[in-house]
Structure 1
Amino acid sequence: MGPGDGESIVLGTTRMRVLGDGGHTGHRLAIAESILAPHTQGPPQHRHAQHGEGFYVLSGTVRFTVGDEDLRP
């Protein structure tokens, strides 16, 4: 994929670019690039029944909430 390829989605102050929607992996693996503005709340807590979710943070810091616990990797 090139810099202009993939589906672009804007969700408030978050910009996402879908690089792979899982259509070739039985929806077990999808890849998206997300750019979040500082202090973005992100999505509500949720769970994926069919797959896990991973993150690779290139700059800045993020906070994940699992149950009542805040994690700052």
Structure 2
Amino acid sequence: MLGKTASDNRVFVYEVAGVRQNTDNDKNSYPFRSSSSVFIKVPYQRMNDEMRRITRMGGTILSIKPWTSNNGSGEQSNDGD
């Protein structure tokens, strides 16, 4: 069994702009947000997958910051896809 590393618990917040409705996000079970930017919490292990998904949806990543418990609760969680 592999031991847990510090990266296993790391979470980042992506600020994303320009995400448009398409066939990828038509499958979502929640309403699509139409504001100019969204915040998505991403576990370290899924960062590359999430970057590709955002690109497929036409989005642009404006910033990537480490998530801390005092960042607030306004971010969309995406760690259970």
The bucket for the TM-score relative to the shorter chain is under 0.3
TM-score using structure 2 length: 0.24
Q: With a CA cutoff of 8 Å and minimum separation of 6, indicate the structure with the bigger relative contact order.
A: 2
TM-score using structure 1 length: 0.26
